[in-house]
Amino acid sequence: MSYGLKLYNTAGKSKILTPDDGTVIAAGPITMSNSLEGDNTYGEDIALGATYDEDEISVLVVPRRPIFGVNQSRFIDGGTLYYNTFYLDSAKTYYTRNTSNGIMTSFSAGNKTVNSELTWNPVLSVFPIAFWDKRGANTFSNVRLFAATGYLCNPQIWTNKSLTGSASGSGGSGSVGNVKDDDENTYYGVNTQSSDSQPTYSVTVSMDAVNINTIEIHHTIRVSRNNAVNTAWVKYYVDIYSNGSWINGVLYEQIGPFAPYTYLSTQTDSISGFWSNVTAIRVRGEGYVYGDGDPYGHVTHFTRELRAWKKNQSENGIVYSIGNQGITTVDYMICRKRYT
């Protein structure tokens, strides 16, 4: 036989396929959509004209030239440049994909903020990908063709681990639960205006043991000193309970004392590292006002939100760009098989 498609197996045996063995149901180029389907899956459906079992048809889909969106840059930490590589581009649209049902979920790339590792998504490789997306089915009246540009990357997915714990504390005003209620308008802390006082408070959030990569406090600090006040300052400490003992002051700052001056700020401070088997995080706040006469000095420290972040333990994953940001066109061929 001098015509047909010759197939080989791993043992070196071959078979010639002719129209008697397989019939082309549909073939040609097709333009891929720029958006998801209504059920948040993606691809182009090719009608078969009948219903076939999975093993009755074969599908070949070949992507054309991929379009990709990455930035080449270097991570900046404390003014030092590191990690010269490619990163996802925050101006592009990416998706993750559930392999069992084909559902795509939007993924927002970080904007590469200086000193903030969370906002950098390094890319290990970029490649075109195309396949028959079966989405768990085994009989078909349509074939879904999937094609996209794939990015093997570190998605830098982080999970807030403090909000599910229980809170306890003393010395402050407000509810201790306010530090973990995901509401930055509520607080627990101290606020005093006095000629001679030293207010203190503490609040602790307990949780199941977890590894922590970043600790964050969103808080309000006020220090006022006037001519009649000799000194005024505020201190705060963030402590963690790791592997059965407290590590005090992983985050610490003292504001003041000042010359006649008012400092007022609502701000977020954080620190990154690695702490294992963390079961509690604590904030301690102190203020001090000393002086004679009116008007008095004023000190405030309110913890509005205490957060701890744990990096997703899946080191690398794949995200996709589609359509005019990924694969615009594929060539395909769908055949009905008459061989086993």
44 bridge partner residues: 145
Residue 182 has a pLDDT of: 82
Out of 6-15, 49-58, 196-205, least confident range = 6-15
Which three-class secondary structure state does DSSP give residue 88? strand
| Res. 19: pLDDT tops 80 | no
Residue 70 has a pLDDT of: 72
pLDDT-based confidence at 296, cuts 50/70/90?
Answer: low
pLDDT-based confidence at 110, cuts 50/70/90?
Answer: confident
Q: Record the tokens describing residue 214, joined without a space.
A: 């970043």
Mean pLDDT of 307-334: 82
- Burial (0-12, 13-18, 19+ Cβ within 10 Å), 120: buried
DSSP string covering 101-170, please?
A: T--EEEEPPP---TT-GGG--EEEEEEEEEEE--TT-SEEEEEEEEEEEEEEE----EEE-STTSEEEEE
| Res. 313: pLDDT tops 50 | no
Enumerate residues 6+ apart whose C-beta is below 8 A from 206.
Answer: 165, 166, 167, 168, 279, 280
Q: CA angle 119-124-130, nearest 5°?
A: 110
CA dist., res. 95 & res. 104, Å (int)? 6
CA dist., res. 317 & res. 47, Å (int)? 32
For residue 203, count other CB atoms closer than 10 A to its CB: 26
CA dist., res. 278 & res. 330, Å (int)? 50
Domain boundaries defined on the chain: 5-156+315-337, 160-311
For residue 96, count other CB atoms closer than 10 A to its CB: 15
Q: Record the tokens describing residue 25, joined without a space.
A: 């149901």
Give the position of tokens 């063995």: 21
Residue 241 has a pLDDT of: 95
Residue 148 has a pLDDT of: 96
| Res. 171: pLDDT tops 70 | yes
DSSP state of 109: P
Give the position of tokens 């627990």: 188
Residue 337 has a pLDDT of: 77
174: alpha, beta or left, given left = phi > 0 and alpha = psi -120 to 50? left
CA dist., res. 136 & res. 70, Å (int)? 32
| Res. 159: pLDDT tops 60 | no
- Burial (0-12, 13-18, 19+ Cβ within 10 Å), 212: buried
Residue 74 has a pLDDT of: 63
CA dist., res. 27 & res. 332, Å (int)? 5
* Top-confidence residue, 8 or 296: 8
Out of 93-97, 171-175, 257-261, least confident range = 257-261
Distance of CA 73 to the CA centre of its chain: 19
Residue 84 has a pLDDT of: 59
Q: Considering only CA atoms, give the Rg of the chain.
A: 30
Residue 261 has a pLDDT of: 74
Q: How far is CA 340 from CA 11, 12, 58, 336, in A?
A: 17, 17, 12, 12
| Res. 340: pLDDT tops 90 | no
Give the position of tokens 């199941």: 208
pLDDT-based confidence at 83, cuts 50/70/90?
Answer: low
- Burial (0-12, 13-18, 19+ Cβ within 10 Å), 264: exposed
DSSP state of 92: S
107 bridge partner residues: 94
pLDDT-based confidence at 12, cuts 50/70/90?
Answer: confident
Q: CA angle 17-20-21, nearest 5°?
A: 45
The proportion of the chain whose per-residue pLDDT surpasses 90, expressed as a percent, equals 43
The CATH code that applies to domain 160-311 is 2.60.120.260
Q: Convert the pLDDT of each residue in 257-295 to its tens digit.
A: 876 677 889 999 988 888 988 999 999 999 888 766 555
Select the highest-mean-pLDDT range: 116-120, 202-206, 292-296: 202-206
